[in-house]
Chains A and B, each alone.
Chain A
Amino acid sequence: MLNIHVRKRQGDFTIDAGFSVGDAGVTALFGTSGAGKTSIVNMVAGLSKPDSGRIVLNGRSLFDSEQGINEPPERRRVGYVFQDARLFPHLSVKANLTYGMRLVPHTERYVNFDEVVRLLGIEALLDRRPARLSGGEKQRVAIGRAFLCSPALLLMDEPLASLDQSRKSEVLPFISQLSTCFSTPILYVSHILDEIEELADNLVLIDKGAVVAAGPFDQLKTSRELAELMGKTGVRRGMPSRGLKIAS
């Protein structure tokens, strides 16, 4: 369970947002581009520091401005899949996958290497260098790398944004599959509703740095807040070719 309430000023833009992420399933952080979604996720990861507030993960304070707590990213047990895969170019796929895993004590590992590799279908890629991978393959490796850290929470910041349509359908099914398989809670950032429809159990709607609505996706999908948000530019109904659902 993640509880977060943070405030941060960035120029003349202020983020003041509070919400919770449950113990399992996918929670989508949905809003227009520039609504502050990435900033919030970066604060959860410890890559940027809120001006004030609290971030509590499973009862452990990751950040608390009153108590002066600010855990560094490497001690948060929060995984992160970035928009660009950010694989280490000098390491093989296998070394990329195990980079974080090797730093986790055996007793705290709940994600199995062989299983992740099998689920993601990347057995044949293990000895390659990232430069030899396609965009979709890179993102799958990045997802595997983040899962293999056995995180208490996994952040995904528009992991499909840099992929074209057919590549997206090459990655999307794996996300829900892995999430179910290891029951890792995921906080998924997106501005494309179709992705969220496919993945999300819960929804947090963000606008201008604040939460406008939060709750189970099924309840919110017909809500006025979502309709209002969809009326704005910068969110997308989604993929033009809905019929194209290829599981590779």
Chain B
Amino acid sequence: MMDFLHLTPVEWAAIKLSLRVSGWAVLGSLPLGVLTAWVLARWRFPGKSILDGLIHLPLVLPPVVTGYVLLILLGRKGVLGKFLYDTFGLTMAFTWKGAVAASAVMAFPLLVRAVRLSVDSVDQGLEKAARTLGAGPIRVFLTVSLPLMIPGIITGTILAFARSLGEFGATITFVSNIQGETQTLPLALYSLTQVPDGEIGALRLCIVAIILAMTALLASEWMSKRFAAYIKG
């Protein structure tokens, strides 16, 4: 029984890589996600619906297409990829950093949608009140709007984290399936189903995936409750 539950080094590596990739993907895209949600909810400018569409594209495109687009853009010879390599020495293609990029792009629309809802729920009367109390726009955003957006930010973060943990199509297309470098949990699970005697390992990873997803959901639920209780005083 204990043997069955024992994870192999390859499986462990995949789990740790998945957590690292998802963590960075969410942390990295959070500030931009909040900003984008704010801009889409509050600003009016020409081309807004195009920006909105571009951000939501990964949600409706086949993930393989998104992965291929990333490969074209961020590959060593791609427009952005060449720039990143020349200026920062950063290689995206076939590295775990590329997996982070793929996860972030795929999870971004979910993050933006959740945060945007919370921007809409912020009472602009409170922001005006803060202005008359002497706070400039940036201070109002940081001390009034942002704290009141926390429920949406929690939901968005958890959704994006879960989406990143599950990311498969864009990742395998963009950075391939390299053990220890880009083989995240879903890729490892897939690989195990492709080899003889892989079933038990696949089952173990399947259980781990369920535990991780449940933990994320429960954590989000707990944080939302804590926030509601905090507001109630």
In contact, A84 and B128 (Cβ under 8 angstroms): no
Task: Show 15 A/B contacts (Cβ-Cβ < 8 Å), sorted by A.
Answer: A72-B136, A77-B134, A86-B123, A88-B129, A89-B148, A89-B231, A92-B233, A100-B132, A100-B134, A103-B139, A104-B134, A131-B231, A131-B233, A146-B133, A149-B134
In contact, B232 and A103 (Cβ under 8 angstroms): no
- CB-CB nearest in chain A for B233: A129
* A161 close to B (CB within 8 Å): no
* B48 close to A (CB within 8 Å): no
Given contact pairs A74-B133, A86-B128, a sample of 9 additional A-B residue pairs in the complex whose CB atoms are under 8 Å apart: A72-B131, A74-B134, A74-B136, A79-B133, A86-B125, A103-B133, A131-B233, A132-B232, A132-B233
In contact, B148 and A90 (Cβ under 8 angstroms): yes
Q: Mark each residue of chain B from 117 to 149: 1 if its CB lies under 8 Å from any CB of chain A, else 0.
A: 000000101101111111110010001100110
User: Which one of A90, A92, A100 has the greatest number of beta carbons of chain B within 10 Å?
Assistant: A90
* B230 close to A (CB within 8 Å): yes
What residues of chain A lie closer than 8 Å to B139, measured between beta carbons?
A: 103
User: How many B residues touch A, CB cutoff 8 Å?
Assistant: 21
Q: Mark each residue of chain B from 191 to 233: 1 if its CB lies under 8 Å from any CB of chain A, else 0.
A: 0000000000000000000000000000000000000001111
In contact, A131 and B232 (Cβ under 8 angstroms): yes
In contact, B231 and A47 (Cβ under 8 angstroms): no
What residues of chain B lie closer than 8 Å to A132, measured between beta carbons?
A: 232-233
In contact, A129 and B125 (Cβ under 8 angstroms): no
| Cβ-defined partner of B231 (8 Å) among A76, A78, A129 | A129
In contact, B126 and A86 (Cβ under 8 angstroms): yes
In contact, A145 and B133 (Cβ under 8 angstroms): yes
For chain A, the bracket of interface size reads: 20 to 34
What residues of chain A lie closer than 8 Å to B232, measured between beta carbons?
A: 129, 131-132
CB distance from B57 to the nearest CB of A (A): 35
On whether A47 and B131 interact (CB within 8 A), knowing A88-B144, A90-B231, A131-B233, the answer reads yes
What residues of chain B lie closer than 8 Å to A79, measured between beta carbons?
A: 132-133
In contact, B233 and A78 (Cβ under 8 angstroms): no
* A45 close to B (CB within 8 Å): yes
- A189–B188 CA distance with the chains assembled, in angstroms: 68
What residues of chain A lie closer than 8 Å to B136, measured between beta carbons?
A: 72, 74
- A104–B133 CA distance with the chains assembled, in angstroms: 9
